[in-house]
Amino acid sequence: MRWVVMTVSTNTQINQEMQERAAQDLVRQRIFRIKRLAGMPHVVWRLMEALSDENVGIRELSHIIESDQALTAKVLSLANSAYYGFSQQITTVERAAVLIGFQELQMMALGAGLSDIFDISKVPPGFDGESLWLHCFAVSWLARELALVCDYPVPAEAMIAGLLHDLGKLALATHLSDEFAKILELEALGLSYPQAEARAKLYHTQVGYWLAKLWELPEIYIEAIRYHHSPNPNLPYYQTTYLVYLADRVAKSLGFGLAHKSLSKAAEAYTSAINLPEQKLRSVIKKAQVEVPPNLEKMKGWLRQGG
Tens-digit pLDDT profile for residues 58-91: 899 999 999 999 889 888 888 888 777 888 899 9
Q: Considering the domain boundaries, does residue 249 fall inside one?
A: yes
CATH of the domain at 161: 1.10.3210.10
Q: Considering the domain boundaries, does residue 192 fall inside one?
A: yes
Same domain, yes or no: 200 and 287: yes
Position 190 scores a pLDDT of 92
- Final residue belonging to a domain, choices 117, 133, 161: 117
Closest CA to 256 of 154, 122, 81, 136: 136
Q: Considering the domain boundaries, does residue 193 fall inside one?
A: yes
Q: Considering the domain boundaries, does residue 1 fall inside one?
A: no
Res. 206: pLDDT tops 50: yes
Position 220 scores a pLDDT of 96
Same domain, yes or no: 298 and 174: yes
Count of the separate structural domains present in the chain:
2
- Pair 220, 162: CB distance under 8 Å: no
Position 4 scores a pLDDT of 59
Res. 246: pLDDT tops 90: yes
Mean pLDDT value across residues 91-108: 87
- Band of residue 266 on the pLDDT scale cut at 50, 70, 90: very low
212-223 pLDDT, tens digit each: 999 999 999 999
Residue 98's domain spans which residues? 37-117
Q: Considering the domain boundaries, does residue 160 fall inside one?
A: yes
What value does the mean pLDDT of the chain take? Answer: 86
Mean pLDDT value across residues 245-270: 73
- Pair 276, 149: CB distance under 8 Å: yes
How many Å apart are CA 108 and CA 114, to the nearest integer? Answer: 10
Position 99 scores a pLDDT of 85
116-151 pLDDT, tens digit each: 889 888 899 889 999 999 999 999 999 999 999 998
Same domain, yes or no: 156 and 50: no
Same domain, yes or no: 82 and 129: no
Same domain, yes or no: 141 and 74: no
Position 270 scores a pLDDT of 46
Same domain, yes or no: 165 and 306: yes
- Band of residue 272 on the pLDDT scale cut at 50, 70, 90: low
Res. 32: pLDDT tops 60: yes
Same domain, yes or no: 185 and 295: yes
- Final residue belonging to a domain, choices 96, 117, 138: 117
Res. 106: pLDDT tops 70: yes
- Band of residue 101 on the pLDDT scale cut at 50, 70, 90: confident
Q: Considering the domain boundaries, does residue 215 fall inside one?
A: yes
Same domain, yes or no: 87 and 229: no
Position 41 scores a pLDDT of 86
Position 268 scores a pLDDT of 47
Between 205 and 100, name the one with better pLDDT: 205
Same domain, yes or no: 128 and 234: yes
Same domain, yes or no: 137 and 106: no
Q: Considering the domain boundaries, does residue 201 fall inside one?
A: yes
Same domain, yes or no: 90 and 131: no
- pTM of the predicted model as reported, rounded to 2 decimal places: 0.88
- Final residue belonging to a domain, choices 117, 143, 172: 117
Q: Considering the domain boundaries, does residue 125 fall inside one?
A: yes
Between 256 and 108, name the one with better pLDDT: 256
Same domain, yes or no: 194 and 87: no
**Alpha-helix residue ranges (DSSP H) falling in the chain:** 2-33, 42-51, 58-66, 69-79, 93-100, 102-115, 129-149, 155-164, 167-175, 177-188, 193-200, 204-214, 219-227, 238-253, 270-273, 278-304
